[in-house]
Amino acid sequence: MGWFKKTSTPPPPIEKEDLWKVCSSCSAHIFKEEWDKNLKVCPQCGYHERLTCWDRVNMMLDPKSFSEFDKDVSFTDHLGFSDGKEKYAEKAAAAKDKTGLGESVITGKGKLKDIPVIVAIMDFRFFGGSLASGTGEKILRAAMYAVKHRMPYIIFSASGGARMQEGTVSLMQMAKTCAGIFQLNKEKVPYISVLTDPTTGGVSASYAMVGDLNIAEPGALIGFAGRRVIEETIKQKLPDDFQKAEYLLAHGFVDSIVDRRELREFLAKVLQYWQK
């Protein structure tokens, strides 16, 4: 008698767990468990992978301490904009469904090593982290809450710049958000700006670069206009590391470069110093 019988019913599919992460920079294969433990920093080349806003919340803030502000504030289609292929409202709604976010930033309060803080965390997945009317409104409201309650304000920027689909309204957010930061400065409430990859365009030209302390993650792209546009304008070849965090530190545009794995501890020490 045979030990095995062939059945007509195919076996259930075997679920394969993705055990590896491939580094976007050096293409090294890293165990996913090690990758997550290393806060999505490549152990081979040190590349800092882009994070979602919720990744950042979980990494920087104390567990279960975060309370989100203004979930209902979202994009507005002032111009009824369409690029000829798709309407802005439809594209933004699709981004909302895909990411679960109402805008390119989440704001709220939480604790960082038991220190109460207000945070605004941008997410590049939503329209490239672009600055629009909803983004500016949320950042301003969070700033006003920080002023009222005298709580330190930390913004984690990750953006391609102003959102072109909202036209001049998006550019107005540069002044609007800086007005909120001015109130923090006026009331001597600390504002820390953390620049991640990338921080460009209207965000780099406004609130991202006016912190009491401007901190960058290693290798982050930080600048206003694109490299090619600048080279074509000035008719010169730019240095290879131009607009990288290390270049900006060397030229005095940022105060410090801090590895993501050390950033939580670094921020806690800064805030503890302010409390004294």
What tens digit of pLDDT does each residue of 137-178 get? 999 999 999 999 999 999 999 999 999 999 999 999 999 999
Average pLDDT over residues 226-249: 95
Nearest to 206 by CA among 164, 177, 172: 177
Average pLDDT over residues 190-217: 97
The DSSP 8-state label assigned to residue 244 in this structure reads B
Q: Which residues contact 153 (CB under 8 A, 6 or more apart)?
A: 117, 118, 119, 120, 142, 143, 146, 184, 189, 190, 191, 192
Angle between helices 133-149 and 167-186 (to 10 degrees): 10
Tokens of 198: 């990338």
Residue 213 confidence class, pLDDT cut points 50, 70, 90? very high
- Using an 8 Å Cβ cutoff, are 176 and 140 in contact? yes
Average pLDDT over residues 258-265: 98
What is the C-alpha to C-alpha distance for residues 113 and 124, in angstroms, rounded to an integer? 26
For residue 198, which amino acid is it? P
Tokens of 221: 């792209």
Tell me which of 13-17, 193-197, 226-230 is least confident. Answer: 13-17
Q: Which residues contact 25 (CB under 8 A, 6 or more apart)?
A: 42, 45, 47
pTM score? 0.92
- Using an 8 Å Cβ cutoff, are 108 and 119 in contact? yes
Q: What percent of the chain has pLDDT over 90?
A: 90
pLDDT of 257 strictly over 60: yes
Identify the pLDDT of residue 84.
Answer: 86
Mean per-residue pLDDT of the chain: 94
Q: What are the pLDDT digits (tens) for 80-136? A: 999 888 999 999 999 999 999 999 999 999 999 999 999 999 999 999 999 999 999
The DSSP code sequence of 95-142 is HHHHHS-SSSEEEEEEEETTEEEEEEEE-TTTGGG-B-HHHHHHHHHH
Identify the pLDDT of residue 57.
Answer: 98
| 27 backbone dihedrals φ, ψ, rounded to 5° | 65, 20
Q: Sketch out the chain's domains with CATH numbers.
A: 18-49 (no CATH), 50-275 (3.90.226.10)
pLDDT of 1 strictly over 60: no
